[in-house]
Amino acid sequence: MSYDYVLIVQCDLVQRRCSGFACTNSFYQKADFFKEYDENTKYIAIGCGGCCGKGLSAKLEHFNNKLLKKTDIKRENVAVHLSSCMVTDNYHSDRCPHVDYIKDIIRKRGFTKVVDGTYISQNAAKKRALGNYKKY
């Protein structure tokens, strides 16, 4: 299936110190978790709404309303990626303790494609292999 949008959900706490450059660059390079998307796929990033992620529901509803009013794109044509800072142990912090709840919110809002990850640095991969970071 072809997707018209990739929506990256980034941890609100991490957004305070991370620009999201690596995830965005990975999307534009069609690397890592974004290999399946073509050059016509659009990209947007949003924060999770803060711990516990409940604020994400309103953001997703707003996003969907804009899709309905401004485009002919349906939720089924949107892939939602949870940023690597949320789903892995990394230098920002450990995996988000609310990630399963956040996935439930995304699916309840009708977005069916949910992907764990955006970008994995070579340094983080080495630390996981050495056991410095947990694997999930």
Q: State residue 22's pLDDT score.
A: 94
Instruction: Return the structure tokens found at 131.
Output: 């056991």
14 contact partners, CB below 8 Å, separation of at least 6: 83, 85, 86, 92, 93
Q: State residue 92's pLDDT score.
A: 78
Is-above-0.85 flag for pTM?
yes
Q: State residue 83's pLDDT score.
A: 96
Q: Please answer whether residues 80 and 106 qualify as being in contact, where contact means their C-beta atoms are separated by less than 8 angstroms.
A: yes
Q: State residue 61's pLDDT score.
A: 96
Residue ranges in the chain modelled with pLDDT below 70: none
56 contact partners, CB below 8 Å, separation of at least 6: 9, 46, 48, 49, 102, 105, 106
pLDDT digits (tens, 9 = 90+) for 78-107: 999 999 999 998 887 899 999 999 999 999
Q: State residue 120's pLDDT score.
A: 85
Closest CA to 118 of 44, 34, 2, 35: 34
d(CA 36, CA 55): 29
Radius of gyration of the chain (CA): 15
**What would the CATH number be for the domain defined by 5-130?**
3.40.50
The angle at the Cα of 23, spanning 28 to 39, to the nearest 5 degrees, equals 20
Q: State residue 9's pLDDT score.
A: 98
Element (H, E) at 100: helix 99-108
Q: Please identify which residue in the block is written with the tokens 């069916």.
A: 112
